Chains A and B, each alone.
Chain A
Amino acid sequence: MQDSTIQIENLVKVYHDRARGEVRAVDDITFSCRSGEIFGLLGPNGAGKTTTLRTVSTVLQPTSGTVRVMGIDARQDPVGVRRSIGFYSSTTALFPRLTARETLRFFAEVNGYTGDIRQRVEEVIHDLDLGSYADVRVDRLSQGMKQKVSLARTDIHDPPVLILDEPTTGLDVLNAREIRNRISTLRDRGKTVLFSTHIMAEAEKLCDRIAIIHEGRLLGTGTLGEIRERTGERYLEDAFVKLLLRRGADG
């Protein structure tokens, strides 16, 4: 796993649910991500994507297995891992009473950005094309604007790794496209983007490599071309179903 910025080895995450008993939300997953790549975790709702990403971002602790980000073991140095990443999820909202500018400044400071924070914030505001919305309170921004600011918040301290859990959920077509374009730009700047989605078409458009996950287990990993070749299917949706059936046949 040379040049890997993210290394996941035999990751297991078990929950104890009162109704369902022991739930293996992530079941022995292994993959790695490189810099300058968008790595997609693809699977239906409840597949274990969010749990995987939250474990990588140290919000959750693995039951077993190893998570390394930029060579830092998440168990040994979770703060070090968090400084190296920007994490976005539907459970990571913005502070409603701060303006966009204040939000970016706050997260730059808290995440230990070492450069000129003021300049960095202005650069990002310019990149986002926020204009006068930069000084509007977050709770008064549109959903699309909020998502832009959220994405900017993950990158404001210029981390080498971004972990984005379904960042286009709830957005209209144009806003979703804009978010995807920004993610591509971040990849082009050499960042590692670990990205999850349940929309097959989105993964096809955006991801350099894909890991298909279902019921906590990896069904297959590779580039879009490799997966097509392996399954003989052109579309990811069909490839997914085939991999699922193969897994079922393998028992």
Chain B
Amino acid sequence: MRSFLRERQVVLFSIAVPVVLYPLLLWGMFTMMSLAQERGTDLRPRVGLVGPASFRNLPGSLAGLESVDWLEVPADSQGAAEAIAADSLDAALIVRPGPSFEMLYDGSGEAGPLARRRIENALEDVREGELRQRAMLHGVSPTSWEYFHMKALDIASRREHGSFMLSLMLPIFFTVMVAVGSFYPAVDSTAGDRERKTWETLMSCGVDRNAVLTAKYLSVTTLGTTAGLLNVGSMTLTLSTILAPLARGAQMPAFSISAGSIPLVVLSSLLLAAMVSAGMMILASFARDFREGQALVQPFYIMAILPALLLQLPGLRLEALTALVPFLNTALLVRAAVLGTAGLLPTAITVAVSTAAVAIMMRAAGHISLQEGAAAGDMRLRAPALLQSFIDKRSEKGGAHAG
């Protein structure tokens, strides 16, 4: 572990990145979004008005619409379309007798749809005002004319809003961070040791080789768990600041994780790191050097992260069925922990499935790593030969063993 912590890459990816990178990235992203929104507010689409002169006397709310620039255009819709195609207009409002309105706009940019939204809102106000006046002329009061009035009130607390937002973002970042935190140590402790020729140094020590492998595995798992937890803590503490640019005076959600949820978050981190570390170490065992190890482990890294992306599907939650899927179950457990909805049975299934996955992978890792070729730092193993050696080993009784 001491050797790991003196390696810059480990400190960077297992500690610094989880704490700093994602919060910084998110802050940057949301700041850009806020700037984009502000720019949208300042943008004034160019809108042409087409129709007979008598219909150009638009109601005040539309004629006085300050969020668009009304321009003179050719007299007909054909000319308006040509002007939009030539980018001298963003949209055109065609007024016909009735009245009826038709809007032409360039949907491939940002100004055209913006013009449409603003003019549609303004026309809705016009319609509302006209209907209200006609109702009053017929002796219908505005209250009864409205028929019903609906009022919506969000009763969720700021904390509940915060928990919901955390539950959307944390699982994926958490999964990525655990995988990132485990990646370098897993490759370094296997393929890296072979490249540095320290593998054989360890394998010739007066200790059971399975114990050496277990110690390496626990180091990698510890770093992966740490990376995941640091990220959770960092995100929780900084999310208010990150989202502040978007708040615009509205009440910010309160981001926190309840004390009761923390053990489950720690458990999830541990289980995920255990599975990721085991898988990565198996694959890196086939590598002769660090670069080869990276190449072998990369697909597994992506595979470990993919299930967390499924969390964007609506209605996906931790249940008995989803708890059976490794990697997905731990991401769902984090979400459930943050929301305070983790049930006992799904949690128990998650623990059981993850532990079984780890046990199987570590057994495989032990069998691969402790082959003579591996013990001697010379890996030329192929799957059929490995399988054969596993079968031979199982059929031997008290035969020679590599440890």
Contact = CB atoms under 8 A, between A and B. Distances in A.
B76 interface: no
B7 interface: yes
B205 A97 contact: no
A76 to B, nearest CB: 9
B204 A59 contact: yes
A75 B396 CA distance: 14
B206 A61 contact: no
Interface residues of B, number: 24
Interface stretch (B297-305, B331-339, B370-378): B370-378
Contact of B372 (A60, A93, A97, A98): A60
A83 B200 contact: no
B207 A110 contact: yes
Contacts of B201: 92-95, 153
A159 B206 CA distance: 10
Nearest to A163: B204
B3 A87 contact: no
A93 B199 CA distance: 8
Interface string B291-328: 00000000000000000000000000000000000000
Contact of B375 (A59, A102, A159): A59
B56 interface: no
Contacts of A82: 204-207
A98 B6 CA distance: 8
Given A79-B207, A110-B206, A112-B207, A97 B197 contact: no
B198 interface: yes
Contacts of B375: 59-60
Given A54-B376, A91-B197, A92-B197, A97 B6 contact: yes
B2 interface: yes
A224 B196 CA distance: 37
A57 B204 contact: yes
A89 interface: yes
Contacts of A137: 6
B32 interface: no
Interface of A: 54, 57-61, 75, 78-79, 82-85, 87, 89-98, 102, 107, 110-112, 137, 153, 157, 159
Given A79-B206, A79-B208, A91-B377, 8 more contacts: A59-B375, A75-B400, A78-B402, A91-B376, A92-B198, A95-B201, A137-B6, A159-B206
